[in-house]
Amino acid sequence: MQFLLADTFTDSLSKLTNEEQKAVKTTVFDLQVDPANPGIQLHRVERVKDKRFWSARVSRDIRLIVHKTKASMLVCFVGHHDIAYDWASRRKLERHPKTGAAQMVLIRERIEEVFVPKYVEQKADTPKPLADITDDKLLTYGIPAEWLADIKTATEDGLLELAELLPSEAAEALLNLAIGIEPPLPVQTGEDDNPFEHPDAMRRFRTMENVEELKQALEFPWEKWSIYLHPAQREVVTNVYSGPARVSGSAGTGKTIVALHRAVHLAKTNPDDRILVTTFSDALSNTLKLKIRALLEHQPRLGERIEVNTLDNYVEHLYKLRFGKVAIIGQDTLIEQFNQLIKKQSDNQFSTEFVLAEWERVVNAWHINTWEEYKEVKRLGRRTRLSETHRAALWEIFERMREYLAQQNVVTTSQMYHKLYDYYESNPFPIDFVVVDEAQDISVAQLRLLSRLSGKTDGLFFAGDIGQRIFQQPFSWASLGVEIRGRSKNLSINYRTSHQIRFKADKLLAPQLHDDDGIVENRRSTISVFNGPQPNIFLADSEETESDYVAKWLGEIIADSVEEHEIAVFVRSDSELNRARITIEKAGLNYTILDGSIKKLPATLIIGTMHLAKGMEFRAVVVMACDDEVIPSVKRIEETDDLAELEHIYDMERHLLYVACTRARDHLLITGIKPGSEFLADMQN
C-alpha cells in the first residue's frame, strides 16, 4: 500500500502544540508500520461526501484524517475533533478528468453553507476576465469541473478569492489567464497511471518510502514548497544543462529551495563528485546548512559530499592551503592609506571617495596590474570621463597602494581571488559543482574565479534576483566567460508573500529588469498563491507618534494569533536601531538584535537592519524609520560625485527597501516621519 503525506497535513500539524505534535507523529508512524493495528482506532468519517475519509484517534480530542483505499493511505489533516471532522466534510479527493492528477477539492455546495463568497456580490457591468474562456480549456488547466461557472462569472477580485479555494495548479493557471498570460499546459495522464505520481499531484502529496523518510517529513515541516516542488521548479532542478545555468525570480518564488534541491540532485546523480553550496553572508550560510540537513536527514552519506559555506570563507580556506596564512587588509586601513597617498600628490584633484570607488570598481575588481592595462581599460559603470593625464595621476596612487600592500604582506579580498584564479589555470579545481545562492550580489573577482570551474559542462548553477541586488554593481557575466543566455529560467509563482504585499513591494521596481548581458526578468508575470491584509504605510509627525502607532499595531496582530517569534522589525542602518528598540520595549515584547552571527533564530521578535533581512521570512514585518534622508541614505549620496555611482546607489536603496518589505508573508507595516522617504510615494500610487 502506498503511504503518503499531504501538504495540508504538514500545515495543520504546525498549528498544534509541541506535546500534541509528538502524539500525532507517534500515530502516523504506527499507521505506516501497521495500518491494521486495532490500537489506532480507525473509523470511517460519517456524513461526508467522500466515503473514503477515515479518522484515527490521536488523543482524547485530537483526530487524524486519512484517505484510505486498497492501493493507498493518505494522511490529510490533523486537528481538534470538531475542526478535523469539519475539514473532511468540506473536501473530496478525486482524479481530475482531464489531467489525471490527484486533487483535494473543496466541495462547492458545502463551502456555500459556511460562507457566501464576496465574488458573488458584483455589479452587472463589472468586467469578468475569464468569461470568454471555454470550459474545455479551463478543464485542460486542471480546474475542477464544479467550479467552472464561478470562475467564468467572477470579477478580478473574485478570482483572487476563488484562487484560495482551488488546487494550486488550477489557481495559478486561472490567475495567469486573468492577466493575459497563457500558462504551459499541464501533463495529461491516462486512467491506468497513478494519480499521485502526476507532476502536479507531487507538489501536494509526498510518498513515504520508508520510516526514515517519514521521520524527515515530520521533523522538518519547513515551508511546504521546500519539499513539494512545483513542476517548473523540478524541471530546473533535474535538467541537464549545456553550460552554466541560472534560476531567477522575485522574492518568495522559491529560488533558494531550487538551489538546495539542485545540490542534492547533483550529489545523487554524481556519486564521485563534490558540491559546494555557497552564498555571501554567515547568516544565510547557516540557514542553508539547516535546510540541507533537513533535506538529507534520511540520506546523510550524501551530505558528506556537499559543503555549505560562504564564498569568502571557502576561498580563504583554499588560499591558506595553497599559499599559507593570508592577511586581508581592513576597509578602514585601506581608506586611511588612500587618504595619505592622495595628500602626497602635488596636484590633489581627486576625493578619497572617488579614488576608492575607482580602485574597487575597476583596478582591484578587474585585476588591473600595469599602467598599459589601466590606460586602455573600459571603465564599466563609471561615467566620469578621465583624460589620459587624469588616469596617469590615478595610476600613480594605485601603484603606490600596490607597493604598500606588498610591503605589509597583506592582500585585498579581490587579490586573494585573483591569485587563486592564476593558480587554477593549470591545476584542477577541488570542487566539481558549485551552487550559488543570492547570485545577484556576486563580485567580479568571485565570478572570475568560479569561471575556472571547467571540469563539468554544467558545473555552475546560480540562483538570484536582480531586484534584490544590494551589494555589488552590475557587470557582464559573459565578459568573464560565464554565459547563461539560453539557460536562464525565471520563476513566476510566489509562495511566500501575499498578493497584497507583493503587489505593493513590486511598485518599488520596474516591471522588467535587465542584466548587463541583456537577459530580461519580467516581473509582471509573477503571481502570489494566497491573499492577505493590505499593507499599511503610516507617516507620523514625530518619532514618539511613530513608536506609539507601531506598538499598538504589534499588540493587535499578536492578539490576532501572530506569535512574537513570527515578527521582525527592520530599519535602514544601525543609526535607526534605537528607534526600533524603544518601540518594542514600549509594546512590552521580548526581542533579539540581529547581528549576522546568529545561527538559529531565537523564539523572540527580531530587530535588525535591512541588509541582514536577506533570506528570512516572517508572518509580520515592520519597516520603521523610512524617513526622507534615511532611505535613500543621504550619507551615501553625498559621498559620491560620479553619476553612474549615484544611479547605482539609488537602485540599491530601492532594492534594500524591497528586500525588507518582502520578508513579510501576511502582515506588513511601513512607517516613518513626514514627509517620509521618496520611495513611499511610489508604493502609494
Residue 311 CA to residue 328 CA, distance in Å, equals 15
pLDDT interval class at 350 (50, 70, 90):
confident
Structural contact between residues 358 and 382, judged by C-beta atoms closer than 8 angstroms: yes
- What Å distances lie between residue 239 and 244, 278, 505, CA to CA? 12, 20, 32
Question: Burial code of 367-401, b = ≥16 C-beta within 10 A, e = fewer?
Answer: bbeeeeebeeeebbbbeeeeeeeebebbbebbbbb
Which sequence spans correspond to the domains of the chain? 2-203, 222-312+430-496, 331-410, 533-684
- The C-alpha cell at 472 is 555589488
- The C-alpha cell at 620 is 509580520
Q: Which residue has the higher pLDDT, 297 or 60?
A: 60
Average pLDDT over every residue of 417-443: 93
Which residues lie closer than 8 Å to 139 by C-beta, 6 or more apart?
A: 96, 97, 98, 145, 148
- In terms of Cβ atoms closer than 10 Å to its own Cβ (0-12, 13-18, 19+), residue 551 is middle
Structural contact between residues 10 and 224, judged by C-beta atoms closer than 8 angstroms: yes
Sign of the dihedral through C-alpha 259, 261, 264, 268 = negative
How many residues in the chain? 685
- In terms of Cβ atoms closer than 10 Å to its own Cβ (0-12, 13-18, 19+), residue 107 is middle
Question: Burial code of 581-598, b = ≥16 C-beta within 10 A, e = fewer?
Answer: eebbeebebebeebeeeb
Residue 161 CA to residue 482 CA, distance in Å, equals 43
pLDDT at site 192: 86
Residue 685 has pLDDT above 80, yes or no: no
Q: How far is CA 64 from the centre of its chain?
A: 32
Strand-pair category, 102-106 with 91-95? antiparallel
Sign of the dihedral through C-alpha 481, 485, 491, 492 = positive
Fold match flag (222-312+430-496 vs 533-684): yes
Residue 328: DSSP 8-state: B
Strand-pair category, 567-571 with 618-623? parallel
Residue 336 CA to residue 359 CA, distance in Å, equals 14
Residue 247 CA to residue 250 CA, distance in Å, equals 11
- The C-alpha cell at 210 is 520508508
- ∠ CA 314-316-319, rounded to 5°: 115
Average pLDDT over every residue of 249-269: 92
> What fold, for 533-684?
Rossmann fold (3.40.50)
- The C-alpha cell at 177 is 489567464
| Residue type at 672 in one-letter notation | G
Residue 52 CA to residue 104 CA, distance in Å, equals 13
Residue 566 CA to residue 291 CA, distance in Å, equals 18
> What fold, for 2-203?
YaeB-like fold (3.30.2310)
Residue 488 CA to residue 500 CA, distance in Å, equals 28
pLDDT at site 210: 73
- What Å distances lie between residue 350 and 60, 391, 640, 641, CA to CA? 77, 11, 11, 10
User: Please, what is the average pLDDT of the chain?
Assistant: 88
| Residue type at 591 in one-letter notation | Y
The winner for highest mean pLDDT among 185-194, 343-352, 552-561 is: 552-561
Is 110 in a helix, a strand, or coil? helix
What does the DSSP assignment read for 151-165? HHH--HHHHHHHHTT
pLDDT at site 456: 84
162-171, 455-464, 597-606: segment of lowest average pLDDT:
597-606
State pLDDT tens for residues 460-489. 999 999 989 988 888 999 999 999 999 999
Residue with cell 548587463: 516
Structural contact between residues 148 and 122, judged by C-beta atoms closer than 8 angstroms: no
Cβ atoms within 10 Å of 483's Cβ, excluding its own? 14
Order of all β-strands in the sheet with 567-571: 536-540, 664-673, 618-623, 567-571, 605-609, 591-593
State pLDDT tens for residues 621-634. 999 999 999 999 98
Structural contact between residues 621 and 667, judged by C-beta atoms closer than 8 angstroms: yes
Q: How far is CA 297 from the centre of its chain?
A: 22
Stretch (H or E) spanning 130 = none
Residue 223 has pLDDT above 60, yes or no: no
Reported in sequence order, the residue ranges of 401-526 that DSSP labels E, i.e. its strands, are 433-437, 460-464, 488-491, 493-494, 512-514, 520-522
Is 48 in a helix, a strand, or coil? coil
Domain 222-312+430-496, CATH homologous superfamily name and number? P-loop containing nucleotide triphosphate hydrolases (3.40.50.300)
Q: How far is CA 437 from the centre of its chain?
A: 10
Is 447 in a helix, a strand, or coil? helix
pLDDT interval class at 96 (50, 70, 90):
very high
State pLDDT tens for residues 139-154. 999 999 989 999 998 8
- Give the residue among 514, 506, 535, 517 at the shortest CA–CA distance from 481: 517
Stated pTM of the model: 0.79
Residue 661 CA to residue 665 CA, distance in Å, equals 9
State pLDDT tens for residues 11-67. 899 888 888 998 998 899 888 888 777 777 889 999 899 999 999 999 999 999 999
Strand-pair category, 245-249 with 72-80? unpaired
Residue 341 CA to residue 347 CA, distance in Å, equals 12
Residue 512: DSSP 8-state: E
As a whole number of angstroms, the longest Cα–Cα distance in the chain is 93
| Residue type at 246 in one-letter notation | R
Q: Which residue has the higher pLDDT, 235 or 668?
A: 668
- Give the residue among 53, 45, 165 at the shortest CA–CA distance from 114: 165
